[in-house]
Amino acid sequence: MVSLLPTDTEIQGFQSLDDVREWAGLPAAIWTAFSTGCGTLSNIRMVAALPRTALLAHMRAVRIAVTGDPAGRPLNAAESIQVGLLWRACRRTCGLEDQDPLADPVVQPIATGPAAPAPAAKKVKASTVIDQLDDTEINPLSRSDIDQCYLNHIEITGAEPSQDAEPSPEQIAALKDRVEARGEAPYADFSLFTPYGRRMQKQMRTKSWVFQPDGTFRTVDIPGPNSFSAWAGCWKVYRAALYMLRHQQPAPSTLKQVVTPAVMEEYCENIAKLVEEFPEAWHLIMQAEDRCRGEALDRYRRNLTKAQVEGNLPMGINFDASAPWNGAFMFAARDFEFWQKNVVRPAHTFLARGGKNMTAKSAGEATMSQEAKAALEKPAHHGQPESPSKRKRKREPGAAAAGPTGKEAKGNHPRKWGTHYISDYDGVELCFRYSKGKLGDCSDPCPEGRSHRCQHCLGSHINSACPAVAKKQKGSGKGKPSGPAK
């Protein structure tokens, strides 16, 4: 009598996976196509450890090359039986319980008595896992779904994520629900989506500085990683979770990766370069990066979809509308205008106003000299009202360095940083490129909307051409030739 499963004698003769394949009668080309789709199953033990759900999923997804048909064909009935027998033989060889992957599910008899109420399924709030503004309730993933997510990660990277980059089941379920089920942008709030799940969330706060009207900075705490290294830890978890997801395509059993390692590496390198260029402005970089994934990615998807229809894709981007987020991340990494507007220009302004040494103290306390503080706090009239004639003399040409009075002093402007003006009479910030540079260094009018004035007297000339400074140097004897020795 022929046995459906291998006998003990046959099992003892199995020295390699090819021996089991020949016993099952499975052609080598069919097995190679199936094994490659699983990430290459190289020995009996790996096949035996393959979950039943993953086996069935790959049996449905595998395509056999056919001449004249680039899409290939699925497994036929005989080939499916042979793959199932090979899997059962490997399990029996490893001493595991036999299962028939092709058997119909057993239908449980209907109970005659009153049915007990089913326990309520555990759900997770998206606001506690992925996005503070999302109140969606997420159903947890089954064990087989989690196993399939890890197989997807292995397919891309060749291995499971490391322990410090391993997302929690709740994080995987939340991102899977957002990207696969709802088709939304793959955004995750890095104050929630952290390594080791909820363990790190309470620490995810960073300091930011807000410029005040009096020339100082006010320190505020905002949610998010407090350094680039903390951000990179969240990024590894986020990247691993994205590698686990797949877009379902219209064709049966066709799946596409959500992102590729090359694109994620390019995006991360762009953030690293900004940090290297502006290490003092991490709070600006962190907020801009969060806005990019939370607000700009979906706009990039729409623009790239339109550009693809028009045949005008920018920057050599390879965009696929059925799996759009890979192209959207690539565009985000290369969108010079976005990073210029949200990081580079604000960082230059931040550093120009004294934001180089931001630590535990506020920016005003950490970077302003005592002389600068006194200049900002000093009242315009120094305690005694000035006479009309004195005010008139101050408005005459050459006397602007004495400072504004009357209506000009409205709103405490202009302001000084030490002995130099930083704003004009109307409160407009001075253009330091014009003031400290040479004629022509900044086009007129200023493209940044700043005021072209001298920092010494607020005249319409650069600092080096200021007559008030020249007069002062002449009166102090600077630049005079020395007389003959007596």
> How many residues in the chain?
486
List, as one string, the DSSP characters of 92-131: HHTTPPP--TTSPPPPPPPPSSPPPPPPPPP-EEGGGTT-
Answer whether residue 99 is part of any domain: no
Farthest CA pair distance, the chain: 132
Q: Give the number of other CB atoms < 10 A from CB of residue 346.
A: 18
74 and 132 housed in the same domain: no
250 and 337 housed in the same domain: yes
CA 273 to CA 82: how far, in whole Å?
Answer: 53
343 and 424 housed in the same domain: no
Answer whether residue 391 is part of any domain: no
Answer whether residue 101 is part of any domain: no
Answer whether residue 339 is part of any domain: yes
276 and 198 housed in the same domain: yes
Which of 242, 251, 237, 231 is CA-nearest to residue 297? 242
Of the three residues 93, 117, 141, the one that is the final residue of a domain is: 93
Residue 139 region by backbone torsions, left for phi larger than 0, else alpha for psi between -120 and 50, else beta: beta
Residue 48 region by backbone torsions, left for phi larger than 0, else alpha for psi between -120 and 50, else beta: alpha
Count of the separate structural domains present in the chain:
3
Answer whether residue 1 is part of any domain: no
Which of 484, 281, 293 is CA-nearest to residue 363? 281
SS3 304: helix
Asked if residue 290 lies in contact with residue 361, where contact means CB atoms within 8 angstroms, the answer is no
Domain around 245: 125-352
Which of 429, 265, 426, 414 is CA-nearest to residue 345? 429
Q: What is the pLDDT of residue 428?
A: 86
CA 96 to CA 47: how far, in whole Å?
Answer: 12
Sign of CA dihedral 301, 304, 308, 309: positive
Per-residue pLDDT tens for 418-433?
788 888 888 888 888 8
Which of 176, 173, 187, 119 is CA-nearest to residue 141? 173
Q: What is the pLDDT of residue 298?
A: 95
Segments of the chain with pLDDT less than 50: 199, 201-203, 357-410, 479-486
Beta bridge partners of 420: 417
Answer whether residue 358 is part of any domain: no
Answer whether residue 416 is part of any domain: yes
CA 363 to CA 344: how far, in whole Å?
Answer: 19
Per-residue pLDDT tens for 330-350?
999 999 999 999 999 999 988
Asked if residue 187 lies in contact with residue 294, where contact means CB atoms within 8 angstroms, the answer is yes
Q: What is the pLDDT of residue 484?
A: 41
323 and 437 housed in the same domain: no
Q: What is the pLDDT of residue 206?
A: 52
